[in-house]
Amino acid sequence: METPLRQIAQALLFDRDGRLLIYLRDDKANIPFPNHWDLIGGHVEPGETPDQALVREVKEEIGVNLGHWQFFRRYECLAGDAYPNVKFIYDAVLDSVPAELNLYEGQRLISIDADQRKNVRFANILAAILDDFFTSDNWPAAVDNCLGKIPAR
């Protein structure tokens, strides 16, 4: 009997400026892909759905109660990762920027533009996932939250 693949839920989280939030993994030899950039998310625990794991991981890693998200794609990773797994990739937009968030796992949290993704050393197959997302035309535009618009003169 085959062992089922580990399941991982990760989010393409975009800040209010339409930039992708990524974090730098710890620089520890005992973890997969140390000192590489990664998406927020993690393992689906026994009894959890991928959606539930996503919400839990976002809360644990950056302290955000994720209210709205959408499923992007499922990836079977049989090579290129620390172990074979299935990644459930979601996307969501937060009304925050990195400076307003707390990172509870990893070294640093930043946000990048679509064009910057090519210059980032991502963990596992994330660069390919980002390319898929970018070519799907789902990369969001900046959110305009200015309530007091200044009229043009």
Report the pLDDT value the prediction gives residue 3, as an integer from 0 to 100.
66
Q: Does 40 score more than 90 pLDDT?
A: yes
Distance CA 149, CA 134 (A): 31
Q: Does 1 score more than 70 pLDDT?
A: no
Q: Does 7 score more than 80 pLDDT?
A: yes
- Pick left, alpha or beta for residue 34 (phi over 0 → left; psi -120 to 50 → alpha; otherwise beta): beta
* pLDDT tens-digit series, residues 97-109: 999 999 999 999 9
Instruction: Indicate the average pLDDT of the chain.
Output: 89
Rg of the chain in Å (alpha carbons): 16
- Where is pLDDT greater, at 27 or 55? 55
- The DSSP symbol for 30 reads T
pTM, entire model? 0.87
115 exposed, middle or buried (CB, 10 Å; 0-12, 13-18, 19+)? Answer: exposed
CATH numbers and ranges of domains, the chain: 6-135 (3.90.79.10)
Distance CA 21, CA 66 (A): 14
Across residues 50-62, what is the average pLDDT? Answer: 97
- The DSSP symbol for 71 reads E
* pLDDT tens-digit series, residues 76-132: 988 777 788 999 999 999 999 999 999 999 999 999 998 898 899 998 888 899 999
The three-state DSSP-derived secondary structure of 31-70 is CCCCCCEECEEEECCCCCCHHHHHHHHHHHHHCCCCCCCE
Distance CA 108, CA 144 (A): 26
